[in-house]
Amino acid sequence: MEAELSADTIPHADPFALFGAWMAEARNSEPNDSNAMALATATPSAIPSVRMVLLKGHGPEGFTFYTNSHSRKGEEILANPNAALLFHWKSLRRQIRIEGPLVPVDIATADAYFASRSRESQLGAVASDQSAPLDARSTFLQRYAEAEARFAGGEVERPPHWQGFRVLAERIEFWCDRDFRLHERRRFTRDGFEWTSTLLYP
């Protein structure tokens, strides 16, 4: 089914409802990780980097993901708290771009999400110095085994550097693939608490 972005079908003031509808369709059509998104960050001197992460929450309060704040992306976020996100669902022929500043989630929210992860993923977060040089994979596996032994019989504690961040959207653009590259685009822009939107040339 073709998505429509015309002014007659999309409320100007609610990009989050449209995002939720597209995400729900993606869950049914994408074979793996429908919540995967490209996260672009930059250093204070504007050197960019981008990688795939997983969206773990969304709504007017922001678009949430989790990471090791000691990693490259974590250090860039702390030094320059602005980001861009890109969702691309090839099966639906759609993209969404989101831009805005970043804020950390509160400790209780980070603890709750960490507790919801599989024990193996929790231990991996404890064992990994994400983005740091690694001499051999066996070193990482040894650190994993040590973490497994340390928390045997108990809950795995969230490392303080394992954090969540929210992108507070200021711009959200929806893109639909059309034949002959006559694509359809609508950009929503926030001004204070109000949203406005406009169609864009493809």
Catalytic residues: 181
d(CA 14, CA 195) in angstroms, rounded, equals 7
What's the angle, vertex CA 39, arms to CA 38 and CA 40, rounded to 5? 115
Residue 134 CB partners (closer than 8 Å, separation 6+): 140
In this structure, are residues 80 and 182 in contact, taking their beta carbons and an 8 Å threshold? Answer: no
Most distant CA pair in the chain, distance = 60
Tokens representing 108 are 């209780």
Give me the sign of the Cα torsion angle 192, 76, 46, 54. Answer: negative
Please provide the DSSP assignment of 108-177 as one string.
Answer: HHHHHHHHHS-HHHHHHHHH--TTS--S-HHHHHHHHHHHHHHTTTSPPPPPTTEEEEEE--SEEEEEE-
Task: Report the alpha-carbon angle 80-49-164, nearest 5.
Answer: 55
